């Protein structure tokens, strides 16, 4: 499904927990994704992965399988830490979906028909209106909320097809959104699919974003924890130490695997027998 993206960024990604993660900067990432949206064939699904997503992936093989077929963009300071440990440097840019998607909509000069799917109907409708104000040359179509019965998945994808959209933005939470897209959304529905988590909540202002200074310091996770401690304390208070442990464990395991690997024997040179006629 995502052969074009996989081929194009083979030299522009680095392995984090054995998952290839795109390491483009902002300008290159926007240019690249815009070009993917212009391709006349195929489909690319884009996932934004943070430290929490990585922990989910480590215990969910099905989620890993989907991410390995997607174009994965790095989100947050946790991915930078993992990259520093594994590769000696952070990612060139923090390509989180909350900032990247609005920037992409602005970057795309050619008008697109964009479908929105996820969260409560009132929230996604408000997000659509905000997007129309942000990038009025695009058409934004609310396909469905994100709380439909799984048995209705075919009806939802039929509606996606009926709307003839160019790009689909899905916000249903990880790993549900990635798995649902992989199972139900094909090239006939949209050439470009972005799975965006809580983006619609932020765009609609249902959930406030951190102040710019807090975001610049890469501490928006702390702002969210203060706002929703009962919902997020496990993710951050328990998740951060667990993620750091997994970073160290994976790096140590990688070094062990390298040290334990048997060296390949050097090829033996075949020496031709002396030419008796030359004597």
Confidence at 267, pLDDT banded by 50, 70, 90: very low
pLDDT surpasses 60 at 57? yes
The whole-number pLDDT of residue 219 equals: 81
CA 102 to chain centre: 15
pLDDT surpasses 90 at 218? no
With H, G, I as helix, E, B as strand and everything else as coil, classify residue 42: coil
Q: What angle do CA 234, 83, 236 make, to 5 degrees?
A: 10
Query: For the stretch 208-236, what's the b/e string if a residue is b when 16 or more beta carbons lie within 10 angstroms of its beta carbon?
Result: ebbeeeebeeeebbeebbeeeeeebeebb
Torsion 158-162-168-170 (CA) sign: negative
d(CA 143, CA 125) in angstroms, rounded, equals 10
pLDDT surpasses 90 at 40? no
Strands 167-171 and 192-195: parallel
Q: Higher model confidence: residue 223 or residue 146? A: 146
pTM, full prediction = 0.85
- For range 135-156, the mean pLDDT: 96
- For range 214-226, the mean pLDDT: 81
The whole-number pLDDT of residue 277 equals: 40
The whole-number pLDDT of residue 274 equals: 45
Phi, psi of 22 (to 5 degrees): -60, 135
For residues 50 and 78, is the Cβ–Cβ distance under 8 A?
A: yes
Question: 111-115, 132-136, 189-193, 272-276: lowest mean pLDDT where?
Answer: 272-276
What is the DSSP-derived secondary structure letter of residue 270?
A: P
The whole-number pLDDT of residue 231 equals: 83
d(CA 279, CA 268) in angstroms, rounded, equals 27
Confidence at 257, pLDDT banded by 50, 70, 90: low
Average pLDDT, the chain: 87
DSSP string, 55-107: HHHHH-HHHHHHHHHSEEEE-SHHHHHHHHHHHSS--S----HHHHHHHHHHH
Question: 35-44, 50-59, 195-204: lowest mean pLDDT where?
Answer: 35-44
């Amino acid at each position: 499904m995502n052969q074009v993206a996989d081929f194009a960024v083979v030299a522009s990604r680095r392995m984090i927990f054995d998952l290839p993660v795109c390491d483009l900067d902002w300008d290159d990432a926007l240019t690249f994704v815009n070009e993917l949206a212009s391709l006349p064939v195929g489909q690319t699904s884009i996932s934004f992965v943070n430290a929490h997503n990585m922990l989910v992936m480590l215990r969910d093989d099905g989620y890993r399988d989907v991410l390995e077929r997607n174009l994965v963009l790095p989100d947050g300071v946790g991915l930078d830490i993992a990259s520093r440990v594994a590769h000696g440097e952070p990612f060139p840019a923090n390509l989180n979906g909350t900032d990247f998607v609005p920037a992409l909509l602005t970057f795309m000069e050619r008008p697109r028909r964009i479908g929105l799917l996820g969260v409560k109907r009132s929230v996604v409708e408000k997000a659509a209106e905000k997007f129309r104000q942000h990038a009025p040359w695009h058409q934004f179509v609310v396909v469905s909320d994100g709380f439909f019965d799984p048995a209705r998945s075919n009806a939802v994808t039929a509606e996606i097809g009926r709307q003839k959209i160019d790009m689909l933005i899905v916000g249903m939470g990880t790993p549900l959104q990635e798995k649902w897209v992989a199972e139900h959304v094909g090239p006939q529905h949209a050439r470009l699919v972005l799975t965006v988590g809580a983006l619609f909540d932020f765009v609609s202002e249902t959930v406030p974003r951190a102040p710019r200074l807090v975001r610049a310091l890469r501490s928006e996770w702390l702002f969210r924890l203060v706002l929703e401690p009962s919902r997020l304390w496990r993710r951050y208070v328990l998740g951060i130490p667990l993620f750091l442990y997994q970073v160290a464990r994976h790096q140590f395991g990688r070094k062990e695997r390298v040290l334990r690997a048997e060296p390949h024997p050097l090829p033996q040179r075949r020496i031709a027998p002396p030419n008796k006629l030359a004597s």
